[in-house]
Copies of this chain bind each other. A is one copy, B any other.
Amino acid sequence: MASVIAASPTASSTLADRIDLLAQVTVHSGLGLRAGQELLITAPIDALPLVRRVTEHAYKAGASLVTTMYVDDEATLARYRFAEDASFDHAATWLHDGIATAYRSGAARLGITGADPSLLGQQDPVKVSRANVAASKASRPALELITRHEINWCIVASATPAWARVVFPGEPEEIAVQKLWDAILASSRLDNPDPVAAWKQHSANLQQRAALLNEKRYAALRYTGPGTDLEIGLADGHLWMGGGTVALNGIPCLPNIPTEEVFTTPHRERASGTVRSTKPLSYQGTLIEEITVRFEGGRIVEARARTGQEVLERMLATDEGAGRLGEVALVPHSSPISASGLLFSNTLFDENAACHIAMGQAYSTCVQDGDTLSPEELAARGANESLIHVDWMIGSGTLDIDGVTASGEREPVMRAGEWA
């Protein structure tokens, strides 16, 4: 696969060269795009330079057609500033249904992330939540095809001025964007002499770690750290995953670039205890900081946050499953993203800097034979269902995690944030 990469980065590589290299890694390692496949991209309008390079390499790889749907933060803001109240229960169902049709017809999917994390921070949280619920409902058929891994898909990041301002608030815009690109490209292993080979190796390491955990068949994980004393039961027949996956269309892909996590499906009724967040959560444009929640019988019964409390409460009230767990993920504290010391305010990066849990929808692929089970069968295994899937970070250099066997014995899994 390395032969598809035209050039490796050198000390003198320009930013344009390195963005081109990210595009190549995205098309080949991330999407595994096949000749004749259509490609559907969503991207912030400021990600235009990366989109153009991806488009070029997708056509070189034989894409039948590349269609990009750009999102303009200014247009989103105009809605909150000027639209009538009824607008916030409306979504472009026709577009989401069209996208689902594209997936069913064999299209691959690339999401480019890079929007302003603080975009909606000043807007009415009730409207933000309503608009999100409407969009979640409309996009559900398309999203299910993604979460079930029916098609090959990938998410990568592009630095944008608005995002860079949040990550490097003191810097002039040009410097901030350059620094954010550096951080994205380093985290995405682009500074390796052969990034495709590096991703192959790293993906194999994560798959091996998942295989070890699958052999253990732990009934639960026990988290202990400052402010945290939590036991999370795992779903019956849960599967640990990490690194690349083979989509149900038979195409190997790497759904997240970067990725550092191994993850599985917890049991929706088996979490109890208290847990404290270790990084802020950027949700719908609001920063939610210093979250502490208490679980009983799998459900959050108490939730506090230093900032964003109202947004947190609305998120947890989205539907019945929003206050229950859909994912549990392990990331060593020494991961390159964590080592950067940056708060990206973007889940793709921050979730790969620390152990995390997610509220809401579970991945059926993290349950044995999950893609053949009915929603009722999945629920019986403990897999949660919700319109939301929101990751938040609970890992740190002071977190210990034990695996709890079916007979109740405890074994060390992580100590002081590292694999035990």
Contact = CB atoms under 8 A, between A and B. Distances in A.
Interface of A: 35-36, 38, 45, 48, 51-52, 55-56, 59-60, 62-70, 72, 74-75, 78-79, 81-84, 86-87, 90-95, 97-99, 101-102, 105, 107
A317 B36 CA distance: 28
A87 B66 CA distance: 10
B65 A92 contact: yes
Nearest to A49: B74
Contacts of A60: 82
This chain: how many copies in the complex?
Answer: 2
A68 B97 CA distance: 16
B38 A67 contact: no
B52 A64 contact: no
Contacts of A91: 65
Contact of A52 (B51, B69, B78): B78
A79 B52 CA distance: 11
Nearest to A89: B64
Contacts of A66: 75, 78-79
A79 B98 contact: no
Enumerate the 8 nearest inter-chain pairs by beta-carbon distance, A residue then B residue, closest first.
A98-B98, A59-B82, A94-B102, A94-B101, A59-B83, A64-B90, A94-B98, A70-B70
Contacts of A51: 72, 75
Contacts of A64: 83-84, 86-87, 90
B48 A72 contact: yes
B75 A55 contact: yes
Q: Kindly name the residue among A72, A90, A98 whose own CB sees the greatest number of chain B CB atoms within 10 A.
A: A98
Contact of A82 (B56, B78, B105): B56
Contact of A67 (B48, B55, B86, B92): B92
8 contacts: A38-B90, A38-B92, A51-B75, A59-B84, A60-B82, A62-B83, A64-B86, A94-B102
A43 B69 CA distance: 12
Nearest to A97: B98
B87 A94 contact: no
A410 to B, nearest CB: 51
Nearest to A56: B78
Given A48-B72, A66-B79, A98-B101, 4 more contacts: A67-B92, A92-B102, A94-B102, A98-B99
B87 A59 contact: yes
A96 to B, nearest CB: 8
A238 to B, nearest CB: 34
Contacts of A84: 35-36, 59, 62, 64
Contacts of A69: 69
A60 B79 CA distance: 9
Given A45-B48, A55-B75, A82-B60, A99 B94 contact: yes
Contacts of A52: 72, 74-75, 78
A102 B59 CA distance: 29
Contacts of A94: 98-99, 101-102, 105, 107
A79 B65 contact: yes
A62 B86 CA distance: 9
Contacts of A92: 38, 65, 67, 102
Nearest to A135: B65
Contact of A90 (B65, B79, B101): B65
A94 B82 CA distance: 31
Contacts of A97: 98, 101
Nearest to A71: B68
A83 B63 contact: yes
A65 B87 contact: yes
Given A82-B60, A94-B99, A70 B45 contact: yes
A65 to B, nearest CB: 5
Contacts of A75: 51-52, 55, 66, 68
A82 B94 CA distance: 31
Contacts of A98: 94-95, 97-99, 101
